[in-house]
């Protein structure tokens, strides 16, 4: 694999410049990298730079990261409809070179190349990459023979990446065949390497220094991680036959004490943690085969908790050990912990010590608040000792509720008494007491009732409220954070009046000098505003969800909340705090604000946006920032249209900057905000908007796939506002050219239909008539090669829309103008079979009413020659409406529950993320039709009254019996008769 040196130098230079503090330099480098990505051989150049020893390690690492991301996006995947995958020749060269380069790479780069290998293997291995595993096994054998631990570790790293998919992939026959292939090739060599490394560890454990032993521990840890992957789906026969060998060594790792310098290095604990993960896997999935080893392993891991070392990874090992003990406590083997003596020892020696704050917790609270919040509140993959101890306590309580409640109640009282005796020095005791209560009280939606350890009302009044109302509210920030965490955990169980009474105290904490405290205060307020009440739906055995806290509840507090959040966003290390911005977004989305205050908060948000434009580095914060802007624009602009010019004056400069400076991460957001402003504006639109419309009509604007959904929103906004101006300056042909381009790719075909639907909704047939044949030709040409359900459903909805807007005659005649009798063919092959598959309340209503009009008004369907077609269309229409009768209420409930939640972003690949608050509800073109079921049966009754006796036999012959029964029920319900 030869890559020209000058190409590698150019790439290295761009990567170096992409880290520049100068925004212009950084943007230019990012643009160069983006342009180069579309050129042939770019992936090979990245691989070449990652492997180039003559280049700076930072550039090589950046190249390996970029390669990893590129393969995730563009590596060809089976059954994928993506159009921009890497060329097959590039893929072949990557597969030929990736493993050798990985083995020679430095550790940091090796980790990225291992992930890249796993990405490629997920699609190609083993069927289209038959040489990979034999190459790894062959090289592993040579390395083991030579005793080359470094080479063994490189190969095991690659194998661990390769097999990691078995941990998370959906179990199916194809996956099991792949697993069998891997087991047949790798299970025996893995055991050989594992025993070889175990022997080397035993030989050198008492005399070697940490640096010499570290690669051996790493080798054994990698073997243990591969063991987990290969055992994740089912217990393989090979591992069952050799379980004694594996378990003997696992127990030795847990029970052997190494010299203090070795223990302090942390590599031994990392191995033990991997072993404990395997023990938990076997306990959860293969308990019957594993139970003979269980008692000795419980004793072994218990011993680990009793021994304290200086190992930096001892905390994470303790989390893993406690997790294993929790699994045992929740299993049928819980009697191992059931005696009063064992229970008290677990509680006193494991739960309570690990529930108390440690020095490391305080250091992280002060020095790395983001990680503290992520681990303490969000429940990251790397659990905290506190969370693990809480889960163990709940696990014990599942079988020994009274016993646990007695221990916890006594401990809580003891801790609170210690705090009362010396509040200044014993605040950690109160903190731990609150955590104990959080651990065992029932959460909403949890099963099996909570364990009552305190009188909740008394605890709330005497322990929680005083901290919220304390004059010295800046003191003991960790305790304040725990109190706010308590409020968040029990927000659903707190009466509304109580929560609102506490709100002023919580609002104070928004400006607390601790990042964790003001983040927790913001999270509580944001979560509070998300609470929904269950409301029964009259006449149906279901419930819908409605907001518990509405504008009237939050309006009295909103100005102070917004002011404090704005101030907190200026505090050190919180200028881009996502928890603060998410809270601000939610408050602006619920409260009613008006007048000068609207302009002030808009100016503040625009100022923040101007700042983050210099270096967009926090995706979550930036998403919530745009949501906050969309919320204030939407709610205030709809209530007071006179505010819209002010929004335009504030936002146009920063939105134009995003486009002009090509801040690609923000393009999808900018177009959605533009769309929102257009929707709120009153025609005639200003020249600024018309210039933007001109940019929108350029094909080049649509060349970025992540921006397409946002551009569609903007296009639809313009089409709604200026439909009659489309026949000027060739605008409509430009729009149709964009439509055809979007239609040609399966990834954007939905956007093509959205544009087309909006045209029909808003443009008269006089304007559309010259182009309707061109539209049908494009759609039916695509249909010849694209008959997926999704595409056909889009087509049925569009045809229904044309019928509703322009009449059945226009629909039938314009299609038949392409080819005689084409409409009847489309109806029989696509409309009728797919009608029952339509989803979405408006879409179901539209297609049902359109089908009814075809049945009762179209001369084509009422012709005697199409009687069978008429009957089958009615059959599908009844089935569609019967299904929605059963599913509609629940679907509506789900839609409503999801609509206000904000999806989290991950990383900064440029992608479309929908702004919920910038969305516009879809227009219902059939407002006059309240109930499509009633419309169907009354229309049929009117039709049959004109020709008595004609349609009964047709229904009898061509409508399925279940649908005939449903039709009769509808007729009875609406007092309609088909005669």
- What's residue 444's pLDDT? 42
pLDDT at 957 over 50: yes
Confidence of residue 775 (pLDDT cuts 50, 70, 90): very high
Give 205 or 734, the one with higher predicted confidence.
734
How far is residue 925 CA from its own chain's centroid? 33
d(CA 431, CA 438): 11
Written in H, E and C, the secondary structure of 278-344 is HHHHHHHHCHHHHHHHHHHHHHHHHHHHHCCCCCCCHHHHHHHHHHHHHHHHCCCCHHHHCCHHHHH
Please choose, from the candidates 438, 325, 328, the residue with its C-alpha nearest in 3D space to the C-alpha of residue 386: 438
pLDDT at 310: 64
pLDDT interval class at 122 (50, 70, 90): confident
637 vs 27, higher pLDDT = 637
Assess whether pLDDT exceeds 50 at residue 676.
yes
Residue % of the chain over a pLDDT of 90: 65
Report the interhelical angle of 149-163 vs 88-104 (nearest 10°).
140
d(CA 781, CA 736): 15
Looking at residues 534-560, what average pLDDT do you find? 84
Cα distance between residue 523 and residue 583, in whole Å: 7
The pLDDT value given to residue 1: 59
Cα gap 512→519, rounded to integer Å: 9
Instruction: Work out the average pLDDT over 843-857.
Output: 95
Q: Over pLDDT 70: what percentage of the chain?
A: 94
Query: Looking at residue 2, what is its pLDDT?
Result: 78
Residue 535 pairs in a beta bridge with 544
Residue 886 banded pLDDT, cuts 50, 70, 90? very low
Q: What CA–CA distances, in Å, run from 54 to 15, 48, 57?
A: 15, 11, 9
Q: Average model confidence (pLDDT) for the chain?
A: 89
Q: Say yes or no to pLDDT of 133 above 90.
A: yes
Measured over the CA atoms of residue 377, residue 383, residue 387 and residue 390, the dihedral's sign is: positive
- Measured CA to CA, the distance from residue 355 to residue 357 in angstroms comes to 7
Mean pLDDT computed over 677-695: 90
Q: What is the mean pLDDT of residues 509-529?
A: 96
Q: What is the pLDDT of residue 204?
A: 85
Using the predicted structure, report yes or no on whether residue 666 has a pLDDT greater than 90. Answer: yes
CA distances 563 to 503, 601, 604, 621, Å, are: 15, 9, 10, 18
Q: What is the pLDDT of residues 298-331, one digit of tens each?
A: 999 988 888 877 677 788 899 899 999 999 999 9
Average pLDDT over residues 568-594: 95
Upstream peptide bond of 684 is cis (omega within 30 degrees of 0): yes
Cα–Cα dist 434/406, whole Å = 16
Instruction: Classify 550 as helix, strand or coil.
Output: coil
More confident residue, 451 or 413: 413
The answer to whether 201 and 153 are in contact (CB under 8 A) is no
Q: Residue 856 contacts by C-beta under 8 Å, 6 or more apart in sequence?
A: 939, 940, 942, 943
Cα separation, 321 vs 312, in Å, equals 16
pLDDT computed for residue 934 by the predictor: 94
The per-residue pLDDT for 379 is 57
Closest Cα partner for 629 from 594, 588, 583, 572? 588
- pLDDT of the residue at 897: 34
Which pLDDT belongs to residue 42? 92
Residue 885 has pLDDT above 60, yes or no: no
The reported pLDDT for the residue numbered 238 is: 97
Inter-CA distances, 873 with 92, 512, 846, 856, Å: 51, 65, 15, 11
Distance of CA 592 to the CA centre of its chain: 30
Judged by average pLDDT, the poorest of 62-76, 164-178, 370-384, 479-493 is 370-384
Res. 923 pLDDT band, cuts 50 70 90: confident
Stretch 785-790: mean pLDDT: 89
In degrees rounded to 5, what are phi and psi of residue 743? -65, -25
Mean pLDDT of 520-530: 96
pLDDT at 378: 66
C-alpha R_g of the chain: 33
CA distances from 711 to 542, 693, 703, 706 (A): 38, 11, 11, 10
In this prediction, residues 518-525 reach a mean pLDDT of 97
| Cα–Cα distance for residue pair 749/105, rounded to 1 Å | 43
Mean pLDDT to the nearest integer, 625-646: 94
442 pLDDT band, cuts 50/70/90, is low
- Is pLDDT at 449 greater than 50 in this prediction? no
State the pLDDT confidence band at 210, using cuts at 50, 70 and 90: confident
**Which pLDDT does position 21 carry in this prediction?**
81
Q: What pLDDT, in 10s, does the model give residues 214-250?
A: 999 999 999 999 999 999 999 999 999 999 999 999 9
**Hey, which residues does 545 pair with through a beta bridge?**
534
Rounded Cα–Cα distance for residues 623 and 666 (Å): 9
Lowest mean pLDDT among 241-250, 772-781, 955-964: 955-964
């Amino acid at each position: 694999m030869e890559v020209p040196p000058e190409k590698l130098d150019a790439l290295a230079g761009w990567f170096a410049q992409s880290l520049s503090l100068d925004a212009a330099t950084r943007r230019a480098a990012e643009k160069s990298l983006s342009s180069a990505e579309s050129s042939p051989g770019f992936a090979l150049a990245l691989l070449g730079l990652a492997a180039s020893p003559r280049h700076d390690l930072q550039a090589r690492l950046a190249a390996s990261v970029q390669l990893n991301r590129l393969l995730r996006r563009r590596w060809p995947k089976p059954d994928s409809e993506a159009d921009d995958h890497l060329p097959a020749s590039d893929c072949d060269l990557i597969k030929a070179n990736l493993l050798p380069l990985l083995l020679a790479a430095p550790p940091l780069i090796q980790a990225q190349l291992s992930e890249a290998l796993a990405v490629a293997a997920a699609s190609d291995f083993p069927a289209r990459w038959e040489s990979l595993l034999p190459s790894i096994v062959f090289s592993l054998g040579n390395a083991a023979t030579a005793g080359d631990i470094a080479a063994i570790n490189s190969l095991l790293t690659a194998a661990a990446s390769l097999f990691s998919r078995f941990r998370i992939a959906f179990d199916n026959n194809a996956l099991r065949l792949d697993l069998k292939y891997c087991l047949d090739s790798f299970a025996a060599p893995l055991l050989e390497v594992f025993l070889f490394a175990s022997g080397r560890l035993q030989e050198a454990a008492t005399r070697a220094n940490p640096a010499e032993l570290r690669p051996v521990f790493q080798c054994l840890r990698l073997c243990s991680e591969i063991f987990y992957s290969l055992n994740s789906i089912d217990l393989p026969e090979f591992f069952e036959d050799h379980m004694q060998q594996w378990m003997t060594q696992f127990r030795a790792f847990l029970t052997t004490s190494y010299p203090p310098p070795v223990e302090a290095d942390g590599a031994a604990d990392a191995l033990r943690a991997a072993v404990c993960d395997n023990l938990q896997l076997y306990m959860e999935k293969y308990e019957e085969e594993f139970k003979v080893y269980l008692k000795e392993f419980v004793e072994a891991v218990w011993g680990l908790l009793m021994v304290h070392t200086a190992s930096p990874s001892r905390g994470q090992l303790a989390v893993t050990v406690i997790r294993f003990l929790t699994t045992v406590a929740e299993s049928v083997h819980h009697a191992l912990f059931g005696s009063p003596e064992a229970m008290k020892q677990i509680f006193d020696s494991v739960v309570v010590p690990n529930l108390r704050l440690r020095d490391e917790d305080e250091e992280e609270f002060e020095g790395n608040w983001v990680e503290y919040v992520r681990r303490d509140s969000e429940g990251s993959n790397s659990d905290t000792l506190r969370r693990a101890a809480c889960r163990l306590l709940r696990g014990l309580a599942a079988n020994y509720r009274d016993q646990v409640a007695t221990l916890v109640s006594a401990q809580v009282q003891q801790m609170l008494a210690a705090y009362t005796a010396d509040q200044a020095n014993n605040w950690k005791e109160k903190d731990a007491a609150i955590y104990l209560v959080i651990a065992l009280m029932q959460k909403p939606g949890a099963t099996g009732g909570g364990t009552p350890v305190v009188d909740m009302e008394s605890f709330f009044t005497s322990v929680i409220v005083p901290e919220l109302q304390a004059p010295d509210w800046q003191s003991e920030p960790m305790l304040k954070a725990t109190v706010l965490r308590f409020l968040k955990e029990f927000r659903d169980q707190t009466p509304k009046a109580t929560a609102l009474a506490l709100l002023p105290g919580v609002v104070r904490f928004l400006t607390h000098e601790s990042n964790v405290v003001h983040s927790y205060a913001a999270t509580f307020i944001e979560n509070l505003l998300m609470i929904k009440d269950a409301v029964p739906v009259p006449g149906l055995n279901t419930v819908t969800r409605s907001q518990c806290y509405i504008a009237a509840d939050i309006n009295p507090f909103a100005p102070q909340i917004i002011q404090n959040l704005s101030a907190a966003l200026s505090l050190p290390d919180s200028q881009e705090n996502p928890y603060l911005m998410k809270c601000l977004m939610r408050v602006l989305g619920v409260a009613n604000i008006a007048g000068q205050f609207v302009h002030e908060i808009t100016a503040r948000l625009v100022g923040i946006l101007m700042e983050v434009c210099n270096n967009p580095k926090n995706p979550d914060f930036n998403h919530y920032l745009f949501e906050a802007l969309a919320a204030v624009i939407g709610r205030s602009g709809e209530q007071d249209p006179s505010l819209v010019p002010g929004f335009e004056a504030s936002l146009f400069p920063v939105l134009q900057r995003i486009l002009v400076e090509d801040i690609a991460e923000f393009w999808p957001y900018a177009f959605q905000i533009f769309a929102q402003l257009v929707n709120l504006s009153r025609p005639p639109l200003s020249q600024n908007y018309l210039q933007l419309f001109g940019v929108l009509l350029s094909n080049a604007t649509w060349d970025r796939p992540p921006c397409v959904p946002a551009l569609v929103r903007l296009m639809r906004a313009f089409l709604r506002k200026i439909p009659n101006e489309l026949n000027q300056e060739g605008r409509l042909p430009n729009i149709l050219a964009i439509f055809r381009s979007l239609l040609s790719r399966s990834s954007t075909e939905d956007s093509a239909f959205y544009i087309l639907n909006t045209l029909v909704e808003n443009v008269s047939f006089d304007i559309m008539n010259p182009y309707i044949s061109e539209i049908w030709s494009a759609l039916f040409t695509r249909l010849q090669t694209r008959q997926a359900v999704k595409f056909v459903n889009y087509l049925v909805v569009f045809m229904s829309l044309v019928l509703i807007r322009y009449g059945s005659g226009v629909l039938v005649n314009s299609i038949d103008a392409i080819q005689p009798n084409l409409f009847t063919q489309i109806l029989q092959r696509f409309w009728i079979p797919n009608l029952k598959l339509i989803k979405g309340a408006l879409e179901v209503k539209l297609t049902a009413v359109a089908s009814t009009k075809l049945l009762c008004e179209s001369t084509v369907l009422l012709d005697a020659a199409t009687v069978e077609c008429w009957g089958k269309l009615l059959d599908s229409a009844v089935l569609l409406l019967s299904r929605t009768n059963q599913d509609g209420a629940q679907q509506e409930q789900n839609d409503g529950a999801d609509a206000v939640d904000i999806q989290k972003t991950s990383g900064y690949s440029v992608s479309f993320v929908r702004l919920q608050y910038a969305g516009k509800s879809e227009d219902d073109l059939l407002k006059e039709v309240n109930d499509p079921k009633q419309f169907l049966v009354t229309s049929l009754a009117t039709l049959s009254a004109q020709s008595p006796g004609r349609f009964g036999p047709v229904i009898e012959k061509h409508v399925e019996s279940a649908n005939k029964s449903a039709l009769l029920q509808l007729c009875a319900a609406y007092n309609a008769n088909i005669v």
